[in-house]
Amino acid sequence: MNKRVNYYQYLAADYSKPGLVSDELRQEMIELAEKFISLKKDVLPTINSDYPLEQIEQENKEWWPTHCEALRQGRGDILTDEYYQDLVYLCQDGPYRGIEMQKEREQHWWALIAQPGVTMCWPIVMFHGEVTYFEWKCVDDETNETIAKGNVTWMRRGHRGGCYLKTEQLTFYRDVFADEKLLKLITTAA
């Protein structure tokens, strides 16, 4: 049997459960997210000797904690900017193509998983080249109830390309559409 591992042992922050990330590190992750987004090119970069898979995988590992923090803080602006402009998003409500098509639906998901009193956690995250696979759950801070869960695969071409393919299975146990007051808590792209 394989030995169980801490998936965060070599990453900048551990988002596997609530309470592991300091306020100072949370702010640092948001600043890094904004920096990484500024590196994204308009054209998906080619994987070659100047931009090898090993570098892309390392960049995805650097990016991962920033993505987690952006979700916990409801930073829809950052989350949208993580996507490559020609994103293909395959999920039970999709498929979606391009970064405009999924915005209306995805804002409800973000509002539900980032709502006050709920903490999103990612107990499992794995990397292979440009592939990032993770499992997530949202835990009610008071009752410890899982309100939603899912698993996701991102094809992310590092900081230069962003996510160009996302597949996701989501299960919501408590809510399906976010209340208007929760939607207003999600930061929108300018």
- Each residue's pLDDT tens digit, 97-146: 988 888 777 888 888 888 899 999 999 999 999 999 999 999 999 999 99
* Long-range residue pairs from 90-95, CB within 8 A, at least 24 positions apart, any chain: 90/165, 90/166, 90/167, 90/168, 91/166, 91/167, 91/168, 91/169, 91/170, 92/169, 92/170
Find the CATH number of the domain harbouring 115.
3.10.450.50
Q: Is pLDDT of 164 > 60?
A: yes
| Domain presence at residue 2 | no
At 28, is the secondary structure helix, strand, or coil? Answer: helix
| Domain presence at residue 190 | no
Q: Mean per-residue pLDDT for 45-67?
A: 98
pLDDT band with cut points at 50, 70 and 90 for residue 73: very high
Q: Is pLDDT of 56 > 60?
A: yes
| Domain presence at residue 110 | yes
| Domain presence at residue 117 | yes
Q: 124: how many CB neighbours lie within 10 A of its CB?
A: 12
The count of structural domains within the chain is: 1
Q: Is the pTM of this model over 0.85?
A: yes
Q: Is pLDDT of 1 > 80?
A: no
Instruction: Return the pLDDT at 103.
Output: 79
Residue of 71, 80, 67 whose CA lies nearest to 29:
67
Report the DSSP beta bridge partners of residue 154. Answer: 132, 166
Q: Which residue has the tokens 């956690």?
A: 121
Domain holding 72, by residue range, is: 23-183
| Domain presence at residue 13 | no
| Domain presence at residue 89 | yes
Q: Is pLDDT of 189 > 60?
A: no
| Domain presence at residue 16 | no
